[in-house]
Each structure stands twice: as C-alpha cells, then as structure tokens.
Chains A and B, each alone.
Chain A
C-alpha cells in the first residue's frame, strides 16, 4: 500500500439533519474509578485523567469510593442553587429576547459544575470564573438584584456600566472580574495562588475555562506555572463539547482527554462527570485538599454538554443536530440530583414544585427591584462622567480635559 502523509480534519459526529451521536464520549460506570490518596503523585494517577469519575448511577443511587456522603440538607442546598441558576437564566434569556438587556449567556445543563465546585470550596478561596459560571455567583450568595443590575448596566451596576452583561465581579465574595477575553483568568488564578503560598495563607484559587479556550496560550502558561511552583490552584476545563460552532475535536479533544493535559505538565489530571453533582463535589474536594496540603495543583475536566446556544447572539440549529441535548449520555444535572434525593427519601415532586415556585417568585421580585434602578431605555441612568473614572487611581490631566469636553458636548446637545 502506498502510504502518504495526510491532513486530518476533525468532524463533529452529528450536524443538522443527523441523528445525535455521542458514542465518542468515553464513559466509566458509576463507582468504577478508584479514589487515590490526596497526596498521590501526579505520575502515579495518570489513569484518573482518562477515566470518568461518576458517583450517581442511572437509578439515582450513589456508589463507589468517590461518594462524598454529603448531608441531605447540603444536597438540597445544592439543588436549590442549581434550580435558581436555571430559573435566573430563563428569565434573563426572556428579558434579552424582549429587548430589556443587550446580551445574555445561559449555563443550561452545566449548573452542577459551578454550584457543586463552589460548595466544595471555602469562602476565602478565590474564584476566577469564565462567562458561563453564574452558578458560582449564586452559590456564593451574590443577590440576584446585583447580577440583574449588572446585566442592565443600571445605577446599581457593580461595573458602573463598563462591561457587557454577565461579566460580574465581587470583591467581598472573592470572585474575580470576568474578562470576556478567553482564558486570561487561568494564569491569573495561578499567580493569585502563588501569592497565597508566598504569604503562607491557607486559601486556594480556582479558575474555569471552556475546552475551546484551552487552546489559548494562557491555558498552557497556567499549567506550566502551576506545575513549576506547585501552586495551590484548581484549574477547571468545562468540556461542554462546543465552542460556539467549533466541535471539541478542534481544541485537540479527539486524540487525548483535556484532563490528560495535566499529567503532561506533571499536574494531577482528573476527568469527571460534570452533570453528576456528587462526583463534581467529591473531585473538587479532593483537589482542594491536595492544594491545601502542599500536594499542588489539579486539572479537572468536567465532561458536560452546552444544552443551550452559546449566547443570545447564537443559533445552534445552524450547526448542531436537533434536540441533541436530549441524547447526551450524562443527562441533566438538576434531574439527576433530584432523583437521587427522592431515592434517599429526602425529596419529592411536590417539594420540588414548591421550591421551583418559590424561586420563580424570587427571580420575579428581584427583576422588579433591579429595574427600579434603571434599564437600558428607562431612567434612572448612570452618570456618563463615570466613563472617565477608574482608568487610573487618580484621574490624569488629559482625562480631566476629555471629561470636560464631553460635558460641554452634552450640554450643547441638551444632555442627549
């Protein structure tokens, strides 16, 4: 046979008109993956980066060595945060469609990632999120009114009108400012963690990016620096299979798991069912303990599915198979935790409906309050002078002059 060099072009297994096909996703049975000691060396646990840690089985039971044995009350809190995240997303999506906000990004199907991970960390741990981690904000108790006000760029907006919707931050909640430029937060989280170690503090840093943006140099800088300095950091790749229309194969996912980038850098890598609340919690807790006990950084790949569009500016019907999320082999994170709680006798359909109604009312009331601080079309409005503040700590002369020019321009045009 005449063998020749060739160019391989990754191809999504299903496009519009095709039957959804997730046979490429490597699965392990629930409970099948061993749980190594938290101080295990990265080189001795490479298989963790190729297997898939799962705790919840198909009947709602929790099995295996990764079962975190959480108190049912904590599971109910987790369920509540996830459901609130989803209802908040639904409402904001509708608000965008109604022209109330300019843009929105849902985390539909990925709620367990942010909520379970946040709950497995301590309040003093610093979070460096991407734009699809609203569950972190909710689990850290940031009021919905504050999140909504940011999306409205209104007078209560924490960003003072300077950021696109969903680019939140919270100094008091230890959540760093979301950039919108992909992957930049990854090395920043490592630097934060290095500083914690330099100062001898017990806190760790955690950061999130998508599998698509793991292609950026920042991802590799983060892994390298985390490895070199054994920084107390948890680096999370949320593999939701899609970067807008780009299938994860184009980020290198066909040849090797994203978690396996970790062992390549000498970092523990672990692949987990991202829609399994218990597995995500357990894996994060394990990684956090490693970081806190000097065993270094961990790269976690959370295998999940972006069940919605990339953003309100995107239409996945143009590049994905129809209803593909219904075929996703790892199901829905909220339904799975709900089923587990019911199987424990700690939850019921009726209680679930009641909680949904209560949270829906909370979302409704929060929106009503948020719009009282202004919308894109109705006052009150932020003072345009704010544009010139915080470029520097103290406003230099050239910005003072430009602010005066803008004021003059506005007064000539009657403040319009």
Chain B
C-alpha cells in the first residue's frame, strides 16, 4: 500500500493498464507530453511512447469519434475530456454512436471506450469548469456512468472500466483530487494522506461496478449520495449527532438497487444528495426507486439535496453549492417528519 491522492491513483490505474494490455491507449487534450492539466497522465507518454499516450486537437467530438473507430479496430481507448463542461461537442458521438454501436449491430461491433472527465464545483471554476452533468448521461441507454469519491475506489473502478467491454463515462469530482472536502471552504484543506481511502494498493486490483459502498453504517437515516457530497453529507450528519447510514453509489449505471433498498428498509428515512442541479437530476431516479420499492417502510417523505437549478455562478459558489447547511435542513426535515 502507498499513500496516493486521487490523481496519483488514477495515474497508477492507467499505468498498470498500459503495462498489462497493449491495446490500451490514452488520448486527449494535453494528456501526452504535458501529462494533463490535472497531471493525471503525468509521465505516461515518456514511459509508453507517443503512440500509446496521444495528444489530440481541441475537438471533443473528434476525440470521441476517433476513439470509437479505434475501439472498433481492437484498441481500448481511455479518452480524457479535460472538463466535463467541455463534453458537449462530443455529445452526438457519445449518445448516438458510442452508446448504441453494440445494440444497432446486434453485438457484432462494440466500442470499449472509457471517457474520463473531471466534474463538479468547489474550485472557483465558474459555469464552465464546475458542472456535474452525470444525469444527462445516465439517461442514455447503453452507457455506464461511474463517479468515485476517493483514491482507492478511483483506481479500482478505473481499471474495471477500462477492462469493461461497454462504454463508460467516468466522472472525477475534481474537488476531491487532492483530499476529501466536507463542503466548508473556510477550513484548511485536508490531504488524502490522512484518510484511510488514501492508502492505495500499488498493484492491479479492481472495484466492481453495480456495487455501492456503505461508507458508514447507521440506524437513523439513509443518505444516498456520490462524489464530493459523500463527505459533505457525512459532516452534516455528524454535526447533528445523527447515526446516519451513508451510501456512496460509485456506479450510477448500473445501479446497486439492493444496497439502497436494504438500507432504507432498515432506517425508514432517506435523503438523496448530489451536487448536480435538482430538476430531472439523477436524484429523482433514486427517489422514484425508493418510493416504488420501500414506500411502506418509509417514516417520512424522502428529501432531496442538490445544486440550485441555475448555471453554476462564479461569485456565489458557496451559496450555490449544496453544503452542510442544505444537507442539515434535509436531515432535520426527514427526522422531524412523522
């Protein structure tokens, strides 16, 4: 085991897969010579060569389109979209092509492409460097959608996704790259070295998809979340002295419905939290599933915490961000009700 931040863990995953499988290639803007604007691919081009770690033009549609063609020709591309906010020029290639090639060709062709992309706010990135668009992609049939919340999971999940024969959109909450963040920007930054999930196996290992992680077992209330909100929710529950069960979904598609429902059946109370905007957000799907599967076990209406339904505002980041106060309001409501 070694202490790693999330960037180092992702780098290790790609390093291992480049070593293990000659069909793996890395591609994206600034990923090669420079090693990526967040340094996730640092040193990989020097180690594996320019044919395996490929700098690309600034054209996300071209990156995804060519990655699809490469994958059809036997490669396993890991394409970086520099910010999730920049993924939209590649949207048609992702939605109409990547997601459906296996289906429309009745399994004769398939496209094992992993798209890595940093997402989420809390970094003073304004409306073009802070978005959480996962719900746009969970709505597309044929895509797997993953979002790790710590270095250990990030590495194991990324290896799983690269080896997966289906296309995956792999969201990386960039506020967590250097340490867990509980939503309070006033506190000093906490490094991953002080967190157990910052201890990462240096070798090959996988973390399965469709398996949520119970970050903290508890009896009072179930908090279903993922990404940065895992730490915000935990801090909010602790501040209220609630014995909360905190579920980190990790994989949004496919979804671990069993873990969600067993927990809600046990606690009878449920809060769903994500950074992404609320209206038609992924949380609505979770709410619907819990309502359908656990209605008679619920002691109170399910509460939802999310970003406001506005573009991500530069000057009002902390009024916008669903921090501990917003989670606490939801927790109080779900605990006080009935």
Residues of B within 8 A of A190 (CB): 65-66, 69
Residues of B within 8 A of A290 (CB): none
Please determine whether B73 and A390 come into contact, CB atoms closer than 8 angstroms. Answer: no
Please determine whether A392 and B144 come into contact, CB atoms closer than 8 angstroms. Answer: yes
Complex Cα–Cα for A196 and B69 (A): 10
- Out of B72, B92, B93, B253, name the residue touching A176 (CB < 8 Å): B72
Using A126-B73, A390-B102 as known contacts, say yes or no to A221 and B254 having CB atoms under 8 A apart.
no
* Interface flag for A274 (CB, 8 Å): no
Residues of A within 8 A of B51 (CB): 198
Most buried by A among B101, B105, B166: B105
Please determine whether B69 and A188 come into contact, CB atoms closer than 8 angstroms. Answer: yes
Across the interface, name the chain A residue whose C-beta is closest to B167: A392
Complex Cα–Cα for A158 and B254 (A): 27
Using A171-B108, A391-B102, A393-B102 as known contacts, say yes or no to A217 and B61 having CB atoms under 8 A apart.
yes
Question: B172-189: contact bitstring with A at CB < 8 Å (1 yes, 0 no)?
Answer: 000000000000000000
Interface residues of B in 138-180 (CB under 8 A from A): 141-142, 144, 164-166
Please determine whether A225 and B66 come into contact, CB atoms closer than 8 angstroms. Answer: yes
* Interface flag for A398 (CB, 8 Å): yes
Interface residues of B in 68-89 (CB under 8 A from A): 68-75, 89
Please determine whether A187 and B61 come into contact, CB atoms closer than 8 angstroms. Answer: yes
Interface residues of A in 149-205 (CB under 8 A from B): 158-160, 162-163, 167, 169-171, 176-177, 179, 181, 184, 186-196, 198-199, 205
Please determine whether A181 and B92 come into contact, CB atoms closer than 8 angstroms. Answer: yes
Complex Cα–Cα for A126 and B70 (A): 12
* Interface flag for A396 (CB, 8 Å): yes
Complex Cα–Cα for A393 and B57 (A): 31
* Interface flag for A21 (CB, 8 Å): no
Please determine whether B96 and A177 come into contact, CB atoms closer than 8 angstroms. Answer: no
Interface residues of A in 55-76 (CB under 8 A from B): none
* Interface flag for A218 (CB, 8 Å): yes
Please determine whether B70 and A192 come into contact, CB atoms closer than 8 angstroms. Answer: yes
Please determine whether A396 and B104 come into contact, CB atoms closer than 8 angstroms. Answer: no
Please determine whether A177 and B69 come into contact, CB atoms closer than 8 angstroms. Answer: no
Residues of B within 8 A of A196 (CB): 73
Complex Cα–Cα for A128 and B165 (A): 21
Residues of B within 8 A of A186 (CB): 65
Interface residues of B in 32-81 (CB under 8 A from A): 51-52, 56-57, 59, 61-62, 65-75
Residues of A within 8 A of B52 (CB): 198
Give B178 Cβ to nearest chain A Cβ, in Å: 33
* Interface flag for A397 (CB, 8 Å): yes
Using A162-B103, A181-B92 as known contacts, say yes or no to A392 and B142 having CB atoms under 8 A apart.
yes
* Interface flag for B107 (CB, 8 Å): yes
Complex Cα–Cα for A196 and B74 (A): 9
Please determine whether A177 and B109 come into contact, CB atoms closer than 8 angstroms. Answer: yes
Please determine whether A195 and B106 come into contact, CB atoms closer than 8 angstroms. Answer: no
* Interface flag for A228 (CB, 8 Å): yes
Complex Cα–Cα for A217 and B142 (A): 24
Residues of A within 8 A of B210 (CB): 396-397
Please determine whether A177 and B89 come into contact, CB atoms closer than 8 angstroms. Answer: no
Complex Cα–Cα for A170 and B106 (A): 11
Complex Cα–Cα for A162 and B210 (A): 27
- Out of A162, A195, A225, A393, name the residue touching B73 (CB < 8 Å): A195
Across the interface, name the chain B residue whose C-beta is closest to A188: B69
Residues of A within 8 A of B57 (CB): 224-225, 228
Give A366 Cβ to nearest chain B Cβ, in Å: 21
Complex Cα–Cα for A47 and B104 (A): 41
Residues of B within 8 A of A390 (CB): 102-103, 106-107
Please determine whether A184 and B75 come into contact, CB atoms closer than 8 angstroms. Answer: no
* Interface flag for A222 (CB, 8 Å): yes
Please determine whether B96 and A184 come into contact, CB atoms closer than 8 angstroms. Answer: yes
Residues of B within 8 A of A194 (CB): 66, 69-70
Residues of A within 8 A of B108 (CB): 158, 169-171, 177
Please determine whether A195 and B70 come into contact, CB atoms closer than 8 angstroms. Answer: yes
Complex Cα–Cα for A163 and B165 (A): 22
Residues of B within 8 A of A187 (CB): 61-62, 65-66, 68-69, 93
Please determine whether B97 and A391 come into contact, CB atoms closer than 8 angstroms. Answer: no
Across the interface, name the chain B residue whose C-beta is closest to A168: B105
Residues of A within 8 A of B68 (CB): 187-188, 191
Please determine whether A195 and B166 come into contact, CB atoms closer than 8 angstroms. Answer: no
* Interface flag for B282 (CB, 8 Å): no
Residues of B within 8 A of A171 (CB): 105, 108-109
Complex Cα–Cα for A221 and B66 (A): 9
Complex Cα–Cα for A171 and B106 (A): 11
Please determine whether B62 and A176 come into contact, CB atoms closer than 8 angstroms. Answer: no
Give A137 Cβ to nearest chain B Cβ, in Å: 14
* Interface flag for B25 (CB, 8 Å): yes
Complex Cα–Cα for A300 and B75 (A): 27
Question: B99-120: contact bitstring with A at CB < 8 Å (1 yes, 0 no)?
Answer: 0011111111110000000000
Using A190-B69, A196-B73, A225-B62 as known contacts, say yes or no to A392 and B166 having CB atoms under 8 A apart.
yes
Complex Cα–Cα for A225 and B108 (A): 26
* Interface flag for B300 (CB, 8 Å): no
Instruction: State the 9 A-B residue pairs at the shortest beta-carbon distance, nearest first.
Output: A191-B69, A187-B65, A191-B66, A221-B62, A195-B73, A188-B69, A192-B69, A396-B254, A171-B108
| 28 contacting pairs across A/B (C-beta < 8 A) | A170-B108, A171-B105, A177-B105, A181-B92, A181-B96, A186-B65, A187-B65, A187-B69, A188-B68, A188-B72, A188-B97, A191-B71, A192-B69, A198-B52, A198-B75, A199-B73, A205-B69, A218-B61, A218-B65, A218-B92, A225-B57, A228-B56, A390-B107, A391-B103, A391-B142, A392-B254, A396-B253, A398-B255
New A-B pairs, 8, CB < 8 Å, besides A184-B92, A192-B69, A218-B65:
A162-B104, A177-B109, A181-B97, A188-B97, A228-B56, A389-B107, A393-B110, A393-B166
